[in-house]
């Protein structure tokens, strides 16, 4: 009977016809003793560590301080801080470019995943504290000037009003950090000269990926605009004469994008072939931090601490305020768009730059890890230079040092690993082992059995696990975590599932 049973097992279609007696006969050859299942924790599984160890000290200290106060992952905090630094730096410095003497924009595009309740907003609040305060003061001053302008009009006759309009320009809203703005509105602000440097910064990714700009009939055109802003600092619009939004161009403008969002929103966007194919997503630095929910316990002593009294954060905010005020006063005294200094790599950093380029290029070859991620990997050096420029400027360096450039390389390596994880991600963010065990459970339940021939399991495994080495790696983990056992009968190997999985 066992021989008949094994013969049937080799025919996957006949597996569905096993009756309870046949399954009982095989089960008598197995031990009924199972250890408790150890949960597979996909949130911590194979997650790259965000490399802030060698960041400039003032930045590293601020990231660690915010992470402590908010009880949030380092990677989520780091991206929030980098978004602030990018906004501050983009108005003053350019990144060295092998093709452009005047360099290129240092503005960063950043994405961070974070579930609801992961404290994304609080991370941004502390990271952006000095920037938000600066923006608020600018807006308050604008409101005062606008009120005075309106009062002058109201107190004048028609003849005086006409002269006043010609001589006194209406004050314009100076806001340049937006949580939700259409690409048309942003282009208008650039082209009309109201802003030169701006940021789209939001902890609600749906505002960006599911808003009008990305859902409208002109999405492909919008994607091209974002890539031009990133690459060339060019804002351009061509319209018919009858269109109220006139045509025009603005050169040397800058845009930072810093987006945080929930997995349910991001997973659809980040696996969108159009967003990948048109090159928008490959320009982003991404991180997928683990979820700390359930571990963020507090003590009485913890609750008495005040972030605004922490010397690490005070130093960081003071540096932000100094640079923001310095940039603002210089822009008021200079109407030209481009008076940015290129921060060059020193000789040691140039050596690292060459090695990093060759490293990333090699990993794009056939059979290498970035073979199917070439659009992302090919921008590795460009993004590393931009990030290094931002770090160097904020730290007060006159050159990009080897230490700064090395840590920028490490962040880009981290990002590329995260993009690899997203390449096959599902909506519930399963690890490879979770994908496999769910696949096995489905197959065994459909056959009303608690075992499957290993070769059949390999043939029907998720696509990314159909190579023997990848499959065996996951099976070994499932064995170690008490999900499955491997049994050999008549020279054939079977995968036996823990009965608790089939209840």
242 in Cβ contact with 248 (< 8 Å)? no
* Tokens (6 digits) for 245: 């939004």
Q: Is the pLDDT of residue 332 over 70?
A: no
Q: Is the pLDDT of residue 328 over 80?
A: no
Q: How many CB atoms lie within 10 A of CB 380?
A: 23
Please report the pLDDT score of residue 405 as a whole number.
97
* Tokens (6 digits) for 45: 């599984």
411 in Cβ contact with 51 (< 8 Å)? yes
Give mean pLDDT, residues 247-257.
92
The most confident of 5-19, 251-265, 360-374, 384-398, by mean pLDDT: 384-398
Please report the pLDDT score of residue 341 as a whole number.
95
Residue 130: phi and psi, rounded to 5, are -70, -40
Residues near 87 by beta carbon (within 8 Å), at least 6 away in sequence: 131, 177, 197, 199, 201, 256, 258
Q: Is the pLDDT of residue 52 over 50?
A: yes
C-alpha 241/C-alpha 228 separation (Å) is: 24
Residue 482: phi and psi, rounded to 5, are 70, 25
Global pTM reads 0.73
* Tokens (6 digits) for 337: 């768009």
Distance from the first to the final alpha carbon of the chain: 27
Give mean pLDDT, residues 349-367.
94
Residue position matching structure tokens 């089960």:
27
Please report the pLDDT score of residue 314 as a whole number.
97
**Cα 158–Cα 161–Cα 164 angle in degrees, nearest 5:** 160
Q: Is the pLDDT of residue 23 over 50?
A: no
Give mean pLDDT, residues 126-152.
92
Q: State the pLDDT confidence band at 336, using cuts at 50, 70 and 90.
A: very low
**Residue bearing the bigger pLDDT, 152 or 84:** 84
C-alpha 414/C-alpha 433 separation (Å) is: 21
Q: How far is CA 349 from the centre of its chain?
A: 26
> What residues are paired with 249 via a beta bridge?
236
Q: How far is CA 496 from the centre of its chain?
A: 39
Give mean pLDDT, residues 77-84.
97
The most confident of 248-262, 287-301, 328-342, by mean pLDDT: 248-262
pLDDT in tens, 389-437: 999 999 999 999 999 999 999 999 999 999 987 765 443 456 788 889 9
The most confident of 223-227, 346-350, 474-478, by mean pLDDT: 346-350
138 in Cβ contact with 159 (< 8 Å)? no
Please report the pLDDT score of residue 231 as a whole number.
93
Q: State the pLDDT confidence band at 371, using cuts at 50, 70 and 90.
A: confident
pLDDT in tens, 147-177: 988 887 777 767 676 677 677 788 889 999 9
Please report the pLDDT score of residue 160 as a whole number.
72
3-state class (DSSP) for residue 282: helix
pLDDT in tens, 194-224: 999 999 998 888 778 877 667 666 777 888 8
Give mean pLDDT, residues 19-47.
57
Backbone angle region of 157, left / alpha / beta, with phi > 0 → left and psi within -120 to 50 → alpha: beta
Q: Is the pLDDT of residue 117 over 90?
A: no
Q: Is the pLDDT of residue 17 over 80?
A: no
3-state class (DSSP) for residue 113: strand
Please report the pLDDT score of residue 35 as a whole number.
83
Residue position matching structure tokens 């995968």:
495
Give mean pLDDT, residues 262-278.
78
Least confident window among 11-15, 30-34, 227-231, 415-419: 11-15
Please report the pLDDT score of residue 126 as a whole number.
96
Residues near 339 by beta carbon (within 8 Å), at least 6 away in sequence: 330
Please report the pLDDT score of residue 170 as a whole number.
84
Residue 36: phi and psi, rounded to 5, are -65, 145
C-alpha 1/C-alpha 193 separation (Å) is: 85
Give mean pLDDT, residues 39-59.
77
């Amino acid at each position: 009977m066992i021989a008949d049973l094994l013969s049937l097992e080799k025919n996957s279609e006949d597996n569905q016809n096993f009756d309870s007696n046949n399954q009982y006969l095989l089960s008598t050859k197995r031990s009924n003793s199972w250890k408790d299942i150890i949960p597979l924790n996909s949130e911590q599984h194979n997650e790259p560590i965000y490399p802030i160890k060698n960041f400039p000290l003032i930045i590293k200290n601020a990231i660690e301080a915010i992470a402590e106060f908010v009880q949030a992952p380092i990677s989520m905090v780091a991206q929030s801080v980098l978004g602030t630094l990018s906004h501050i730096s983009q108005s003053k410095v350019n990144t060295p470019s092998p093709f452009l003497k005047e360099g290129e924009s240092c503005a960063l595009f950043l994405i961070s995943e974070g579930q609801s309740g992961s404290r994304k907003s609080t991370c941004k609040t502390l990271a952006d504290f000095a920037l938000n305060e600066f923006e608020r003061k600018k807006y308050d001053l604008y409101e005062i000037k606008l009120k005075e302008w309106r009062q002058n009009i109201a107190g004048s006759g028609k003849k005086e009003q006409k002269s006043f309009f010609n001589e006194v320009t209406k004050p314009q809203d100076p806001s340049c950090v937006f949580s939700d703005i259409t690409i048309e509105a942003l282009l208008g602000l650039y082209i009309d000269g109201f802003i030169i440097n701006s940021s789209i910064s939001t902890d609600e990714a749906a505002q960006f990926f599911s808003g009008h700009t990305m859902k409208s009939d002109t999405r492909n055109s919008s994607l091209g605009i974002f890539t031009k802003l990133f690459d060339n600092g060019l804002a351009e619009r061509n319209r018919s004469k009858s269109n109220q939004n006139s045509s025009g161009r603005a050169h040397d403008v800058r845009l930072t994008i810093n987006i945080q969002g929930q997995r349910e929103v991001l997973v659809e966007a980040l696996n969108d072939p159009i967003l990948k194919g048109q090159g928008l997503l490959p320009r982003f630095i991404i991180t997928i931090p683990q979820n700390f929910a359930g571990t963020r316990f507090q003590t009485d002593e913890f609750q008495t601490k005040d972030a605004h009294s922490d010397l690490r954060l005070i130093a960081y905010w003071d540096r932000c305020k100094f640079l923001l005020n310095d940039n603002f006063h210089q822009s008021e005294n200079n109407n030209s768009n481009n008076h940015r200094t290129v921060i060059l790599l020193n000789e040691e950093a140039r050596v690292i730059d060459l090695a990093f380029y060759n490293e990333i290029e090699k990993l794009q070859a056939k059979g290498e890890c970035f073979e199917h991620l070439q659009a992302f990997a090919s921008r590795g050096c460009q993004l590393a230079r931009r990030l290094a420029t931002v770090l160097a400027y904020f730290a007060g360096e006159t050159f990009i040092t080897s230490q700064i450039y090395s840590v920028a390389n490490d962040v880009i390596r981290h990002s590329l690993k995260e993009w690899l994880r997203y390449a096959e991600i599902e909506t519930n963010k399963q690890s490879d082992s979770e994908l496999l065990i769910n696949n096995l459970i489905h197959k065994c339940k459909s056959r009303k059995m608690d075992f499957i021939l290993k070769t059949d399991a390999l043939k029907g495994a998720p696509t990314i696990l159909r190579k023997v080495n990848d499959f065996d790696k996951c099976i070994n983990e499932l064995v170690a975590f008490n999900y499955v056992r491997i049994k050999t009968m008549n020279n054939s190997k079977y995968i036996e599932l823990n009965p608790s999985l089939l209840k």
